[in-house]
Chain A
């Protein structure tokens, strides 16, 4: 079974809505779209400008349908993942039933709680010599 990071959780919908309300109460989700000579620029809540011309022209992604734009520092990825081995303090009890994302790569089997991934969206990982983004 593949577990792709396709849709956001209710947690993030609520959180992004809250962040967007805080920074721009007059327009919660809609981006500020600037059109310049066939280029489409969306401006996020921090003033950062993102060129989405190619997304529009090649993939029909409507610039006005990009949402929230809370800025790239609002949701921080896990850049230095640390893992517990079985038996170490803090390692979950076998009978716990929380949701996880698990994988085996390069003969290493790792797991990530969905709650933790939801909060950071991405963990930038390395399995052996293979660099992987764990996203949910």
Chain B
């Protein structure tokens, strides 16, 4: 889970269609810069394009089972996009 804000701009991130080392390479719609989670780095690093060498910081998130998450966070919302 990463910030998608840089220099006051908001980026729209998506899969580029490429992978590297079995990890998705992302890109942003606005500048078509490439973003990648480099081994040992926190966040996404811009590996090419307008924002090269800049980083989008990572936010804390938890991978767990729904029943555990719900027990710990009774008011959690749940993503419900079903048509895409």
* Residues in A lying within 8 Å of B, measured CB to CB: 1-8, 12-13, 16, 31, 42, 44-46, 50-55, 58-59, 61, 65-86, 90-92, 94-105, 108-114, 116, 120-124, 130-135
Contact = CB atoms under 8 A, between A and B. Distances in A.
Contact of A53 (B21, B25, B48, B75): B48
B62 A1 contact: yes
A97 B59 contact: no
Nearest to A110: B77
Interface of B: 1-5, 10-27, 34, 36-38, 45, 47-49, 52-53, 56, 58-67, 69-71, 73-81, 84
B79 A111 contact: yes
Contacts of B52: 54, 58
Nearest to A40: B48
A84 B20 contact: no
A111 B69 contact: yes
A68 B81 CA distance: 27
Contact of A99 (B4, B63, B84): B63
A50 B31 CA distance: 12
Contacts of B19: 8, 16, 66-68
Contact of A52 (B12, B24, B26, B34): B34
B4 A5 contact: no
Which are the 4 A-B pairs with shortest beta-carbon distances? A83-B77, A3-B63, A55-B47, A75-B15
B17 A92 contact: no
A55 B79 contact: no
A2 B60 contact: yes
A71 B56 CA distance: 23
A98 to B, nearest CB: 5
Nearest to A42: B18
Nearest to A4: B37
A52 B59 contact: no
Given A85-B77, A99-B63, A103-B1, A133 B70 contact: no
23 contacts: A5-B23, A13-B22, A44-B18, A45-B17, A67-B18, A70-B17, A72-B15, A72-B16, A77-B12, A81-B81, A86-B76, A92-B78, A100-B63, A100-B64, A100-B66, A103-B59, A109-B73, A111-B66, A111-B77, A113-B79, A114-B63, A121-B15, A133-B11
